[in-house]
Amino acid sequence: MGITERKERERQEMRSLILEAAQQAFIEEGYEKASIRAIADRVEYSPATIYLYFKDKSEIFFEVHELGFERLIQEMMTAVEGIENPIEILRQQGYAYMKFALENPEMYDLMFIQNAPMEAEKGEWACGHRCFDLLCSSVQHCMDKQLIKINTLEVATMSIWSFMHGLVSLKIRNRFKTFPQEHIQNLMLASVEQMIELIQND
């Protein structure tokens, strides 16, 4: 390996280390309280070192978001490999979304719930839009086959996403305490099935 390649590898390793530390800082302290110095302390470098890799805290937060959404999108895509039925694709993507949220509640909170800047430099929440576009594609497929009642793509997609987000947010914020804990997952699965049934054409 040449000097250039080694330096680039070391740079990427350092970026990954900073992002990992930043993710934990954002989760534990919240965006507003997690300072560049706090992130630097976690990797045992000076704040000046952080600025060699990222221009500010907002850019770091955006990169952390990107990593989270890349994982979520990959899991949603993997869940439907080999499936042709559009409704079943929608169902399995819903399950994958719920599984990601329940297995990564702190990251999900960071991605969707915490109050923090979401815009990239071009004014777009690119990572969130990619996830939404993936769901739009699945919903459009269902609409093309006349399998769902809602005939407006944005309305159908937003309704489904809002339902899933509300469901998992209630769970990760411990709002299901009035239900027997051993029944909550079955309740959530049944809720997804009911949502699918409600949007389907007879």
Name the 3-class secondary structure at 53. coil
The overall average pLDDT reported for the chain is: 89
Identical fold between 1-54 and 58-199 = no
Q: 186-201 pLDDT, tens per residue?
A: 889 999 999 999 999 8
Partner residues linked to 200 by β-bridges:
148
CATH topology of domain 1-54: Arc Repressor Mutant, subunit A (1.10.10)
Contact 36, 57 (CB under 8 A): yes
* Domain spans in the chain, listed from the N-terminal domain onward: 1-54, 58-199
Residue 44 CB coordination number (10 Å): 9
Q: What is the mean pLDDT of residues 181-190?
A: 84
In this structure, CATH architecture of domain 58-199: Orthogonal Bundle (1.10)
State the amino acid at position 185 in one-letter form: Q
Residues 6+ apart with CB under 8 A from 89: 80, 83, 138, 141
Q: Would the pLDDT of 124 be above 60? A: no
pLDDT at site 60: 93
Contact 26, 114 (CB under 8 A): yes
Q: Would the pLDDT of 123 be above 60? A: no
Q: Would the pLDDT of 120 be above 50? A: no
